[in-house]
Amino acid sequence: MGPRRSYDVIIVGAGSIGLPAALAMAEAGLRTLVVDQAASAGQGSNKAAIGGIRATHSDPAKIRICLRSIEIFSTWKERRGEDIEWHRGGYCFVAYAENEERALRELLVIQKAFGLKIDWLDKAAMLDLLPDLNPEGLLGGTYAPGDGNASPLLAAHAFFQAARRAGAEFRFREPVRDLILANGAVRGVRTDAGEYGAEVVVNAAGGWAAEIGRMAGLELPVKPDSHEAAVTEPVARFLEPLVVDIRPLGPSANYYFYQHKTGQVVFCITPSPSIWGLDTRETSSFLPLVARRLVSLMPRLRHIRVRRTWRGLYPMTPDGAPIVGWAREVKGFLQAAGMCGQGFMIGPGLGEMLAQMVTGRLSAEDRESLGLLSPYRSFEGQEKLK
C-alpha cells in the first residue's frame, strides 16, 4: 500500500449532508476529501428525497439551519449559475379534525416566536389557496409561504460540482472499511483502494451512519426506516404549495405532495408502524394506499398519471432531531447523522455549520443550536410535528 494521502478533513458520505459540507469546507480553505460507497454523488438517500424544503419546524436548531438552507437554495442560481429548480411554493398543513387543528395552532405559536412567516388559514382562505382540496370537513390549516422545494438530483450535482471547483476531492465506489484511530483520535479512513489521512473525519453516512460510528466504538442511536415515494407525469401548474395531511390512516401516518417546478407531482407516505431496515425494494402496498389518500383529499389528482416509484431511507433518531457534534470518546470524529428524512433541507445550512465547527468559527446562536443536536443529549423529547 502506497503512502497515505493526507487531507484536513475527510467526509464519509457524498449525500445531502456530505456534499454541501464538502463545499463549505473546501471554500473555508480546508483540504477536503469525500468518500462514498456509491458510484456518484447523491446516490444514497439524497436522490430518494422528494424535494420539500421548509424552515417551519418546531425546534430552534432546525429552524435556524433550514432558514439558512432556504437562503442557499433560493439564491443558488443567481450566485452559482446552475438551475436547481427551486420554487418558493410554500408549505401547507391541512386540518380536517379538531385535534389536528389544535396541534397545528399550538405549533404556530412557537414558529411565530422564531419569526417564521406562517399563518393559520381558515377554510375559505385555504380553499382559495388550494381550490382542488376536498372541502368536506376541512377546517383550515397553516400556510408558510417562505418554504419551497427544489430538485434533490440537480442540487446534489450542483453542490458536487461547486465543491470540486472549490478543490474538494471525491472517491466513489469506495465503501469505508474502517476508521484509522490512534491515541484516542481519528487519523483517517481505510477503503478497499487504500488509506486516506486526516485529523478530522465527518460521519455523514446517512442510513449507514451507525455502522461508521461503530468503527470508532460509538453507538449512535440512528436506525433507518423506509418510505416509498413516486413522481407523476408533468402537467400545467395547478398546485402551488407542498401539502401535508397529518391524519393517520390504516398503515400510514401522514403523507405529503407538491408540484415540482417542471410540472410533476411528487408524493411520499409515512408508514405506521415504521418499517425498519435498509430494504429499499418496492412494495405492492404503497400505491393503492397513497392513491386512495391523495384522491380523497384532492379528487383532481385521480387523472394524473404516475410515472415512477421508489423507496428511500429515513435515518431516524429516538427524538426525531439530527445528531450533530464531536465525539467525546474519539478526538476529531464529527457526527452529522440521523437527519430523520430531512437531510436534503437541512444539508446546506448544516454544511456551513460543520465547516465552522472544524475551523472554530461558530456563532453563539449556532452553539445554542448544536446544544440541542448534541449526540450526548437525553433523546427523551419528541418533535411536535415530524
Partner 1 sequence: MPGFRIDRHPILTPLPAEAVPVTWKGRPLQAKAGETIAAALFAHGERTFSFHPKDHAPQGIFCANGQCAQCLVLADGLPVKACMELVRPGMRLEPVDGLPVLPRDAGPVSVRPVEEIGVEVLVIGGGPAGLSAAIELGRRGIGVLVLDDKHRLGGKLVLQTHRFFGSAEAVYAGTRGIDIATKLENELRTFPSVEIWLQSAALAVFSDGRVGVLKDGRLYVKVRPEVVLVAAGAREKSLVFPGNTLPGVYGAGAFQTIVNRDLVRSSERLFIVGGGNVGLIAGYHALQAGIPVVGLVEALPECSGYKVHEDKLRRFGVPVYTSHTILSANGTDAVESVTIARLDEQWKPVAGTERTFACDTVLIAVGLDPVDEFYDKAREFGLRVFAAGDAEEIAEASAAIFSGKIRGMEIARALGREAGEISPSWYATAEILKSRPGKTVPEKIPDEESGVFPVLHCVQEIPCDPCTTVCSRGLIRLLSDDIRDLPVYEAPDPEKACTGCEKCVAVCPGLAVTLVDYRKDAEHPTVTIPYEFLRRTIETGDRVAVLDTEGAELGEVEVTGVRAVKANDRTILVKVRAPRAVAKRIAGIRVQEDEAVKPLDRYVERTTDDTFVCRCERVTAGQIRALIRDGLRDISEIKAVTRAGMGSCGAKTCTPLVRRLFREEGVPESEIVDQPKRPLFMEVPLGVFAGTDESGGDGHGA
Binding site for partner 1 (CB under 8 A): 38-43, 47, 132, 134, 136, 153-154, 156-157, 172-173, 232-236, 238, 263, 279, 281-285, 287-288, 290-292, 294-296, 299-310
What does the block give as the cell for 22? 464538502
Question: Which 3 state secondary structure label does DSSP give 4?
Answer: coil
Please tell me the distance from the alpha carbon of residue 365 to that of residue 361, in angstroms, as a whole number.
Answer: 12
CA 185 to chain centre: 29
At closest approach, how far in Å is the CB of 375 from partner 1?
32
At closest approach, how far in Å is the CB of 382 from partner 1?
31
At closest approach, how far in Å is the CB of 234 from partner 1?
5
Burial 244-275 (b: 16+ CB within 10 A, else e): bbbbeeeebbbbbbbbbbeebbbbbbbbeeeb
Closest CB to partner 1 among residues 232, 335: 232
Residue from 158, 179, 148 nearest 329 by CA:
179
At closest approach, how far in Å is the CB of 105 from partner 1?
26
At closest approach, how far in Å is the CB of 137 from partner 1?
10
Closest CB to partner 1 among residues 187, 260: 260
Closest CB to partner 1 among residues 6, 37: 37
Closest CB to partner 1 among residues 97, 113: 97
Closest CB to partner 1 among residues 59, 228: 228
Closest CB to partner 1 among residues 38, 125: 38
DSSP code at position 236: S
DSSP code at position 144: E
At closest approach, how far in Å is the CB of 93 from partner 1?
21
At closest approach, how far in Å is the CB of 294 from partner 1?
6
Alpha carbons within 13 A on the beta-carbon side of 356 = 15
Closest CB to partner 1 among residues 16, 369: 16
Closest CB to partner 1 among residues 136, 219: 136
Q: How many CB atoms lie within 10 A of CB 194?
A: 14
Name residues whose C-beta falls within 8 Å of residue 258's C-beta, 6 or more positions apart in sequence. 50, 51, 52, 89, 149, 239, 241, 242, 243, 265, 266
Closest CB to partner 1 among residues 210, 304: 304
Please tell me the distance from the alpha carbon of residue 70 to that of residue 152, in angstroms, as a whole number.
Answer: 13
Q: Are 19 and 211 in contact (CB under 8 A)?
A: no
At closest approach, how far in Å is the CB of 166 from partner 1?
17
Please tell me the distance from the alpha carbon of residue 257 to that of residue 53, in angstroms, as a whole number.
Answer: 12
Which position has the grid cell 484509522? Answer: 180
Q: Please count the residues of the chain.
A: 386
Find out whether the peptide bond into 273 is cis, omega within 30 degrees of 0.
yes
At closest approach, how far in Å is the CB of 317 from partner 1?
26
Please tell me the distance from the alpha carbon of residue 96 to that of residue 356, in angstroms, as a whole number.
Answer: 43
Please tell me the distance from the alpha carbon of residue 260 to that of residue 240, in angstroms, as a whole number.
Answer: 9
